[in-house]
Amino acid sequence: MLEHDVIIVGGGLAGCRAALEIAHTDANLSIALIAKTHPIRSHSVAAQGGMAATLNNVDTEDSWEAHAFDTVKGSDYLADQDAVEILVREAPDVVIELEHMGVLFSRLPDGRIAQRAFGGHAHRRTCYAADKTGHAILHELVNNLRRNGVHIYDEWYVTELILEDTQAKGVVMYNIQTGKIEVVCAKAVMFATGGYGRAYNTTSNDYASTGDGLAMSALAGVPLEDMEFVQFHPTGLYPVGVLISEAVRGEGAYLINSEGSRFMANYAPSRMELAPRDITSRAIVREISAGRGINPDGSAGGPFVYLDLRHMGQEKIMSRVPFAWEEAHRLVGIDAVYQPMPVRPTIHYSMGGIPVTTDGQVRSSLSGLIDGFFAAGEAACVSVHGANRLGSNSLLECVVYGRRTGAIIAQYLQNRKLPTVDEQRYVTATQQQIQSLLDRSGTIRIDKLRREFQDCMTNYCGVFRTEKLMREGLESLQQLQQQYQDIYLDDKGKLWNTEVIEALELRNLMIVGQLILTSACHRQESRGAHCREDYPDRDDTNFLKHTLAYYSPAGIQVNYLPVQITMFQPQLRNY
């Protein structure tokens, strides 16, 4: 059995930042970081637009209080305001710290870090490295990991969280290259496993965003918080769904319908294209439904609208958002200097997740905590984003709460003993689980079932929702879950058997989907990204609270957690 003081699952920004903090606090600790990809291929590397912090380099009127207010209003008042305060107050410090580690942020002519406008932020406060911000930060963090002696297990797929008697004791993992199964025992376990964009058929997320950490937690009896809040990013490139960063609108691009009009004037007149994502995504879907979308031949009535950069000019496009230009050119053959880009909403971000305190400790219930279990980043819900995240607040969350959780873990580990784990029991159970997948003589291909599941989530739990639609979705999902018993794998071998991984990921995605649909059915109001056509208004009397959904194979139980309101009372939210 492998043993470490702490295991971090996830090599994105949150996991790497936590690992570094632990190493800096106590160089004698044995830290393991496990990732199913190489850490540098974590989805964080794809983050483009930037990271918010009130450095006041461009906008001297900005303040942490203003950042907090924008975040809470953006969240439709569901964010926990104590957690938001920590996020925005620590923001300038974490940016400077990253810079000192070697991250190359874009600059103003006088050499200070540049800052740009972003949706829902009333001031120009987003720091960036052109439109490759995640790449710039993640590469530096991973380099620093190696220098600090963090043990990296890359291309190991974690299959199970070992949680016994409300204590996390380790994980079971499967080596993708060799098929070997190992139990890793530790005094503390942290999940930083990212989001679940692959639960939908069109997403900006990478192939690894399959909600594994969420499903493993749910299977171990941990509740999941606010799963109904799924973020649609307004500008996915049509038809591929790949993200065109909000930075493009931050730098001045327009959204145009088939009549050539900037339709955001009808939805968010004061913020126009820089309204928050929930509002902008709904506006685009409404324009398309009203017949003002555009077809590939340019005629009206089609499935997308235009993102128009042409007035920005070649020099600005190529210096500020070169990657967006390159993506459109490479993937759909559009030269954005001369042609508008076809866009429509795409699944982007998971506001909900594993419920944690502001110290990153995982909750077992309304008041209980799980000993030795921590989470941060997109997989966690500390709730700084509430019902709708503002762009450039997620990288910030990963770094602020990654650092904070790392510091707490380093303290927690002092004077702790390694727990005892029955290694053989876990190895045997995992071997049997994988063997039963290999032995299946069913008729359904994993890829087909996954596509049907993704269509189910997209059709029944999309931008607009109703009770009837979601009930149909749950029924359809139940049938698909039954069909899972009937899948078959072509590859029966041990080496690089990626079909085994796909099968395990699909099981996880389906659990996540069931939690999303069930939580969404229970929330009978419209708030942030959760828009119910049968309950069009926000209902603070009955639903100003967080959902906690407990999974079991027999069904899902829903409970609620109060919202922390310390600074701003809920108000009408318009822009």
Ligand X SMILES: Cc1cc2nc3c(=O)[nH]c(=O)nc-3n(C[C@H](O)[C@H](O)[C@H](O)COP(=O)(O)OP(=O)(O)OC[C@H]3O[C@@H](n4cnc5c(N)ncnc54)[C@H](O)[C@@H]3O)c2cc1C
The residues of the shown chain that bind ligand X, judged by CB under 6 A, are: 9-15, 34-37, 39, 42-44, 46-51, 133-134, 157-158, 192-194, 204-205, 208-209, 212-213, 243, 349, 377-379, 391-395, 398
Position 426, amino acid: Y
Nearer CB in complex with ligand X: 213/276: 213
Nearer CB in complex with ligand X: 22/51: 51
**Using CB atoms, what's the residue nearest to ligand X?**
12
Residue 378 Cβ vs ligand X, minimum distance, rounded to whole Å: 4
Helix axis angle for 81-101 and 133-147, nearest 10°, is 70
Nearer CB in complex with ligand X: 117/395: 395
Residue 309 Cβ vs ligand X, minimum distance, rounded to whole Å: 17
Exposed (0-12), middle (13-18) or buried (19+): which is 467, by Cβ within 10 Å?
middle
Q: Which helix (H) or strand (E) holds 167?
A: strand 167-175
Residue 456 Cβ vs ligand X, minimum distance, rounded to whole Å: 22
Give which of 573, 453, 538, 418 is closest to 4, Cα–Cα.
Answer: 418
Nearer CB in complex with ligand X: 47/544: 47
Q: Are 223 and 40 in contact (CB under 8 A)?
A: no
Cis peptide before 296 (omega within 30 of 0): no
In this structure, the number of other CB atoms found within 10 A of the CB of residue 111 comes to 6
Write the CB contacts of 541 (distance below 8 Å, at least 6 apart in sequence).
none
Q: Are strands 555-562 and 545-552 parallel, antiparallel or unpaired?
A: antiparallel
Q: DSSP letters of 319-385?
A: HHSHHHHHHHHHHH---TTTSPEEEEEEEEEES-BEEB-TT-EEESSSS-EEEEEEE-GGGEE-SSS
Q: Is 538 a catalytic residue?
A: no
Nearer CB in complex with ligand X: 130/268: 130
Residue 163 has phi, psi (to 5 degrees) of -130, 115
Nearer CB in complex with ligand X: 106/392: 392
Residues 14 and 153: their CA atoms lie apart, in Å, by: 16
Residue 134 Cβ vs ligand X, minimum distance, rounded to whole Å: 5
Residue 386 has phi, psi (to 5 degrees) of 50, -125
Residue 47 Cβ vs ligand X, minimum distance, rounded to whole Å: 3
Exposed (0-12), middle (13-18) or buried (19+): which is 562, by Cβ within 10 Å?
exposed
Residue 328 Cβ vs ligand X, minimum distance, rounded to whole Å: 14
Quote the Cα angle for 175-147-400, to 5°: 85
Q: Give me the catalytic one of 17, 277, 523, 532.
A: 277
Residue 372 Cβ vs ligand X, minimum distance, rounded to whole Å: 18
Q: Which residues are catalytic?
A: 277
